[in-house]
Homo-oligomer: A and B are copies of this chain.
Amino acid sequence: MMRHIHLGDVDQSAIASLEKKRIARTYSAGDRLFAQDEVPDGMYCLQSGHVLLWHSDRFGHKTSFRMVGPGELIGYRSLLGNDPHSANAEALDACHACFFPRVDVEQFIYCNPSVTRQFFRILARDRGPPDALLLRGQHLSIRIRLIYFLLIMKAHHGRRGTDGTLVYNLPLSRTNIASLIGARPETVTRAIKELKRDGVAIFQNRRVLVPDAKKLLEEVGIDAMPK
């Protein structure tokens, strides 16, 4: 199955000509699609699998800021900003991705105002900044950050089971989760234990079960996730 970049009503011939340029690549867990400080030579559309974007500072602190799933674009910020990659893109499991070379992306973007507009939206709506407020806000306890984490992941990675249970398939280690919400693995373990005790969420292996999604929302005191 081929996944397409979702761009609404756009000149089909432009898309077709971009699709011709795509290069299929496969990765296994641990591989990097690109690494911090590399100069981008194109961008990726993930077909299957999961990719973690993380940044490493000079002290070796690893800060993850986005987990990408099938259908999402990767590497567009650095490409469009014409800057070296500010993050590592690491495959969490077996991945298929389409690579689009820089020149073809640029041709595509500028071929048509409506495509250009779409890319402005993609850039402007990058979830990183607003999500960071929820995932890393100092004034929020680790428990609440975990809840926000689940709420944010719901959109791309949660599936509603037959009995209303929310099921996540997240190929993330405790350490990964910790670095996403700005905590330590031990603390994540403890918070997860409490969520289980309270019947809010059950983390088993790399699966998460949420018996009642309403409880998540109650806990953070809202009726629905913003946007």
Contacts and interface: CB of A to CB of B under 8 A. Distances in A.
A57 interface: yes
A26 interface: no
One complex includes copies of this chain to the number of 2
Contacts of A86: 130
Given A58-B222, A61-B139, A138-B138, A80 B132 contact: no
Most B CB within 10 A of own CB, among A110, A129, A182: A129
Interface in A97-139: 110, 113, 116, 119-121, 123-126, 128-130, 132-133, 136-139
Contacts of A182: 137-138
B63 A123 contact: no
Measured as residues with beta carbon below 8 angstroms from the partner, the interface class of chain A is: 35 or more
Nearest to A124: B81
Contact of A120 (B55, B59, B119): B119
A78 B124 contact: yes
Given A116-B116, A138-B182, A55 B124 contact: no
A24 to B, nearest CB: 26
Contacts of A126: 129
A125 B227 contact: no
A55 B121 CA distance: 20
A18 interface: no
A138 B184 CA distance: 10
A221 interface: yes
A54 to B, nearest CB: 11
Contacts of A83: 124-125, 227
B121 A80 contact: yes
Contacts of A78: 124
Nearest to A122: B81
B130 A132 contact: no
A58 B59 CA distance: 34
Nearest to A182: B138
A77 interface: yes
A120 B110 CA distance: 11
**Nearest 9 A/B pairs, CB to CB:** A81-B124, A80-B120, A138-B182, A123-B123, A80-B124, A81-B125, A77-B124, A61-B139, A129-B129
